[in-house]
Amino acid sequence: MRFVIVVPGSLILLMLIAVIGAGRGTPEPQTLYPEPQGAKEFLRRGELYEDAGDYEKALSDYEQAARLEPDNSDTYLEQGSVLSALDQPAAAIEQYLTVKEIDQQNGISTRIVEDLIAIERAKL
């Protein structure tokens, strides 16, 4: 007894795209953002570097984003994350305290940041 599976043409195309795409890695951050224009692009490229494990480049981009947009707490949160990964808990705490200060000024809950600070203090 033979079984025949009928696959619609569009599904075959999707499967082909998935197979081809699986062979390609994520584009390099420098390729996607060769010359970041503004804090958001530096932040995004920094996140890509961080995801790739290139913490020094991520930190550099986060610092540039902070210079361009000093009131964006996301930048300091990301810096804290990288500093934690680099085993620099005291420096990470400084960044998390900046996040807490900015978020309190904006009426945003700081509970998550307080938890991150506690985690880093435990490393000291």
What pLDDT, in 10s, does the model give residues 93-111? 999 999 999 999 888 888 8
What domains does the chain contain, in order, with CATH numbers? Answer: 29-123 (1.25.40.10)
Kindly report the backbone phi and psi dihedral angles of residue 109, in degrees, each rounded to the nearest multiple of 5, phi listed first: -60, 140
What pLDDT, in 10s, does the model give residues 39-72? 999 999 999 999 999 999 999 999 999 999 999 9
- Cα distances from 111 to residues 11, 88, 103, 105, 124, in angstroms, run 45, 21, 10, 14, 21
pLDDT given for residue 1 in this prediction: 43
